[in-house]
Amino acid sequence: MKIGLLLRTIKHIRLKQLYYQLINRFSTVKEYKGEIPKSTNIQFVDFVHSHESLIGNNNFAFLNLKKEFKEIDWNFGDYGKLWTYNLNYFDFLLQKGIPTHQGEELIKDFIKKYDTHKDAKEPYPISLRAINWIKYFQRNEIQNKNYDTTLYIDLRRLYNRVENHLLGNHLLENGFALLFGAYYFRDEGFYSKAKKILLEELEEQILKDGAHFELSPMYHCILLERVLDCYQLVKLNKWKEDDLETILLLKAQEMLGWLHQITFNDGSYPLFNDSTSGIAKEPFQLFDYSNKLGVEAQQELLGDSGYRKWEIGNNEIFMDIGKIGPDYIPGHAHADTFNFVLKSSGNDIVIDPGISTYEKNNQRNLERSTLMHNTVTISEANSSEVWGGFRVGRRANVKLLSESSTSIKAKHNGFRYIKAQHTREFLKNDDSFEIVDLLNKVGEANFILGSSCKIKVNNEKEYLLEHVKLTFEGEIINVQVNEIKIPNGYNRYLKTNKLTVKFNKELKAKFTFNEDIISNG
């Protein structure tokens, strides 16, 4: 590893993270051997059912990869660590139609093999599993001392090893789990730590426009569901009389407001940064859940997140003019500064492909690269120095130059190491959408098309994309249309077309919307 790259990466890390990295590396957590408190009945009105991942007896499907066990190996790692994590989350307990006896048999098997578990005892899987078990016990009116013993031992382990070395969404999940554990066992220690984490982290992690600060719409949905769960928990199970219920309600309203603003008319959301389909609950599910809880969205104008959304008739444009994410935790960030996507009458015209893997490999590097986003690169250089699966060295700093209801102009310095600067302006017209790119060098602008978007080439400067006409102006060197492989969820791929425009110093791309223009391919 290059020393410079390492220094450019770690200089953004907080001292708190470094301190707890050392603590975690050189200390161990002793398993709790004390008394197990009696659990209480937790009340819920409703919650969102999980995706179907238990598809038969000991037959599981996570991340679009199936595995049938004769005897469940809770440490099974052939499909990567994220698959193993999913197995140990126990989300399948909350899918529709699972018989109570089947869920309990899985819990019993997990407990029987508890001493052999590895990944299952890490704080993040403990957090998700604890919440899922408590929900499952409540839904099926289960009270079992053996289950409670394992659950409490897990929560004590979590209490002593919350993820202060990572922070971000991981620490929030730790706080949510401890809050569930606090109410389930009436544990004052769990409650005190949970409340401290949630008050501090929700204040920092939820931006003023309601977005989660890691800027992944997928993680935003995951965490919004958790906030709604915790709000319901505190509201319906009266135990503490303090301000936590009010804070949870406020954050849920803000996060709902942001989700409403970024959700397309077809119910989908843009797959910016680490996002993909089939993981988080869909927006309509979260909107329905919030309605059942009486939580109303509080909408603010899109601002701090750096995301913007325009509508022109039946056409929707989503743009990124913000930071790549929080400086000290950019693990879910991509080198996608000034990225955009375009939908027309619900059809994907220009897309962000999202991700297919969390494995630290070439595919992960490619999916985070500037080449796989609808923005400008220079000789395939990345605008931010993504590496190592979840690391970022040099980052693109954005300066907003001007903004109105019809124009957004910004520049970034992500190419400063090759003595270049990129300025991009988005322009909104009555029947068209324009992008103007300025460089002091030769660059390439990428346009990744939806897999079902037909393309017809009229000439080098004019293309028909369904009923959208795309024209280019400027000093164009060449235009290439290439077939590429893109993610279609985790571990799945499909083919689509990518337009790459090589230009010198300035490029104007104009999307004209006309229902009478139809491409026959």
Find the mean pLDDT for residues 48-63. Answer: 95
Q: What is the pTM of this model?
A: 0.96
**Is residue 31 one of the residues assigned to a domain?**
no
CB 61, CB 55: distance < 8 Å? yes
**Is residue 17 one of the residues assigned to a domain?**
no
280 and 150 within one domain: no
**Is residue 5 one of the residues assigned to a domain?**
no
**Is residue 343 one of the residues assigned to a domain?**
yes
To the nearest whole number, what is the mean pLDDT of the chain? Answer: 95
Predicted pLDDT of residue 216: 98
Predicted pLDDT of residue 245: 97
Question: Which residues does 495 contact at the CB level (< 8 Å), separation at least 6?
Answer: 451, 483, 484, 485, 486
Nearest partner of 380 among 418, 351, 413, judged by Cα: 418
State which residues form the domain around 371. 307-513
Question: Which residues does 185 contact at the CB level (< 8 Å), separation at least 6?
Answer: 37, 38, 39, 40, 148, 152, 155
235 and 127 within one domain: no
Pick the range with the lowest mean pLDDT from 3-17, 111-125, 405-419: 3-17
| Higher pLDDT pick, 2 / 292 | 292
Q: Is the pLDDT of residue 518 over 60?
A: no
Which among 281, 299, 317 is the end of a domain? 299
Residue-by-residue DSSP string for 394-421: S-PPEEEEEE-SSEEEEEE-TTGGGT--
pLDDT tens, residue by residue, 65-105: 999 999 999 999 999 999 999 999 999 999 998 999 999 99
Pull the structure tokens for residue 354: 């999202």
Q: With bands split at pLDDT 50, 70 and 90, how would you rate the model's confidence at 241?
A: confident
Which among 180, 197, 214 is the end of a domain? 197
Q: With bands split at pLDDT 50, 70 and 90, how would you rate the model's confidence at 421?
A: very high
507 and 364 within one domain: yes
- Looking at the chain, the whole-number percentage of residues with pLDDT higher than 70 is 98
474 and 341 within one domain: yes
Q: Is the pLDDT of residue 520 over 60?
A: no
CB 152, CB 185: distance < 8 Å? yes
Pick the range with the lowest mean pLDDT from 12-16, 133-137, 361-365, 428-432: 12-16
190 and 158 within one domain: yes
130 and 49 within one domain: yes
In Å, the largest CA–CA distance within the chain is 77
CB 178, CB 190: distance < 8 Å? yes
Q: Is the pLDDT of residue 515 over 70?
A: no
Predicted pLDDT of residue 1: 64
What is the torsional sign of CA 223, 225, 226, 230? positive
Predicted pLDDT of residue 516: 56
CB 368, CB 452: distance < 8 Å? no
Find the mean pLDDT for residues 203-226. Answer: 98
Q: Is the pLDDT of residue 259 over 80?
A: yes
245 and 186 within one domain: no
Question: At which residue do the structure tokens 């790549």 appear?
Answer: 324
CB 66, CB 78: distance < 8 Å? no
* Overall domain count for the chain: 3
81 and 45 within one domain: yes
387 and 506 within one domain: yes
Find the mean pLDDT for residues 428-434. Answer: 96
Find the mean pLDDT for residues 13-23. Answer: 90
Query: Could you give the CA distance from residue 74 to residue 113 in angstroms, rounded to a whole number?
Result: 8
Question: At which residue do the structure tokens 């009266």 appear?
Answer: 238
CB 498, CB 481: distance < 8 Å? yes
